[in-house]
């Protein structure tokens, strides 16, 4: 069973600011509650083909995986994919203007769990949505507190 979860939030900051901060892998541990570390496998800055290793704690399990940036349109869209681990995943961010100085950000996680994880798909979809909503709220809090 495939998981496809999209969460959105409006942030009281210009799109360029929101996109630059959220698309920078070095900032990910600040606003993704479950991400514990980030390690670049290719040179900075992020471009199509860049590879970044993440270590996460999700549903009581340690997950280590490497995303590859598949699409990058600065200020508009970022798509990363991994085929590693028990949960191959595609994560995408998109940003659009939501009025003067405001941004609407969408974060989508799509994947097809394998093995035992496949049996837990309905629960995992709920957990991914809850986690993603919480992450976007933390991102909003961080960015709106910044001058």
The CA distance from 88 to 76, in Å, is 24
Band of residue 116 on the pLDDT scale cut at 50, 70, 90: very low
Task: Report, as an integer, the average pLDDT of 113-142.
Answer: 79
Task: Report, as an integer, the average pLDDT of 48-70.
Answer: 89
The CA distance from 27 to 25, in Å, is 5
Task: Report, as an integer, the average pLDDT of 76-102.
Answer: 91
Residues in the chain, total: 147
- Tell me which residue of 67, 142, 136 sits closest to 95, measured CA to CA: 136
The answer, yes or no, to whether residue 46 has pLDDT greater than 90, is yes
Domains with residue ranges and CATH for the chain = 3-144 (3.30.530.20)
Phi, psi of 121 (to 5 degrees): -50, -50
How buried is 103 (Cβ within 10 angstroms: 0-12 exposed, 13-18 middle, 19+ buried)?
buried
């Amino acid at each position: 069973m495939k998981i496809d979860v999209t969460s959105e939030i409006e942030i009281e900051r210009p799109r360029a600011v929101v996109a630059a901060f959220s698309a920078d892998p070095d900032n990910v541990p600040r606003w993704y509650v479950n991400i514990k570390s980030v390690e670049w496998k290719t040179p900075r800055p992020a471009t199509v083909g860049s590879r970044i290793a993440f270590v996460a704690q999700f549903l009581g399990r340690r997950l280590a995986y490497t995303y590859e940036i598949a699409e990058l349109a600065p200020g508009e869209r970022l798509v990363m994919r991994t085929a590693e681990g028990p949960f191959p995943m595609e994560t995408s961010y998109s940003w659009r203007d939501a009025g003067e100085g405001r941004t609407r950000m969408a974060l989508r996680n799509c994947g097809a769990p394998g093995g035992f994880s496949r049996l837990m798909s309905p629960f995992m979809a709920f957990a991914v949505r809850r986690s993603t909503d919480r992450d976007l709220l933390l991102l909003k809090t961080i960015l709106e507190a910044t001058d």
